[in-house]
Amino acid sequence: MHPGGLRLTQRAAVLAGVSCAMHVADIGCGCGASLSFLAEEYGVTGVGIDVSADMIGRARQGGAPGIDFVCCDAACYPYNEGCYDRVFCDCALSEITKPGQVLLKIRDSLRPGGKLILSDVYAKEKKTPGSQRVRAACPGACVSVRAWTKGQLIGLVTGAGFRTIVEEDHTPALVTYAAERFAAGCSGWGYVLIIAEKDCSGGKVVVGGDAVGGGDAVVGGEEVGGCKVVVGGDAVV
């Protein structure tokens, strides 16, 4: 479960206008708690995707009607273009191998006007380089996460063809999460909720050469999550 738990999921669902009959994906769904909650509370249907067979096994045990769980890498997950109304990605993008590529897939899989609901950790100070993963002193010391700053994370999202409509800081939820699970502090780290709409206003996302996530990241002159992204214009990936 992510910092903020189902309380944050509920808040995100309200802010993102989740409603009955929506078709929803959860990328890096873990044991599926968020998606099952959304199915029970809102009546959504959808798919949870996680690379861990163990997590997907647990998710299937606690699943809700209309919800499927698929074990695969987020970079390879199957979808039809424009098939989802909302895509959630909680506390997972920073772990995913090719975050930029996954964001482009999410964008393709959303219908026009569809929304990405993303929450993740960020480093309060820029680490060098932003694309590097760090283990030490990260909130969940069991995994390695990318040490991107909030600005870099937002740049990655907008560079992949989204327009951010909500940016809320939930660092206190991360402090509680770390204290409860790891008996460790997490100074230097924050947690942010971003809700972003698929940008269909004509902004161009150009894909060529290396897939996103494979090269260096440049956002306003900074490196981001291992992706080549130019923000403020077209995203070049």
Ligand X SMILES: C[S@@+](CC[C@H](N)C(=O)[O-])C[C@H]1O[C@@H](n2cnc3c(N)ncnc32)[C@H](O)[C@@H]1O
Smallest separation, CB 191 to ligand X (Å): 11
Structural tokens at position 233: 């214009």
Which CB atom, from 4 or from 155, has the smaller least distance to ligand X? 4
Q: Which residue is nearest to ligand X (CB)?
A: 30
DSSP tag of 149: -
Smallest separation, CB 45 to ligand X (Å): 18
Which CB atom, from 101 or from 222, has the smaller least distance to ligand X? 101
Burial zone of 42 (CB within 10 Å; 0-12 exposed, 13-18 middle, 19+ buried): middle
Which CB atom, from 30 or from 225, has the smaller least distance to ligand X? 30
Task: Classify strands 23-27 and 110-123 as parallel, antiparallel or unpaired.
Answer: unpaired
Q: Is the dihedral of CA 5, 198, 229, 219 positive or negative?
A: negative
Q: Cβ–Cβ contacts within 10 Å for residue 7, how many?
A: 10
Which CB atom, from 186 or from 231, has the smaller least distance to ligand X? 186
Residues near ligand X (CB under 6 A) are 1-2, 28-30, 33-34, 49-52, 55, 73-74, 90-92, 95-97
Which CB atom, from 10 or from 52, has the smaller least distance to ligand X? 52
Smallest separation, CB 34 to ligand X (Å): 6
Are the C-beta atoms of 23 and 67 separated by less than 8 Å? Answer: no
Spatial CA neighbour of 198 closest among 44, 42, 87: 87
Smallest separation, CB 55 to ligand X (Å): 5
Smallest separation, CB 60 to ligand X (Å): 14
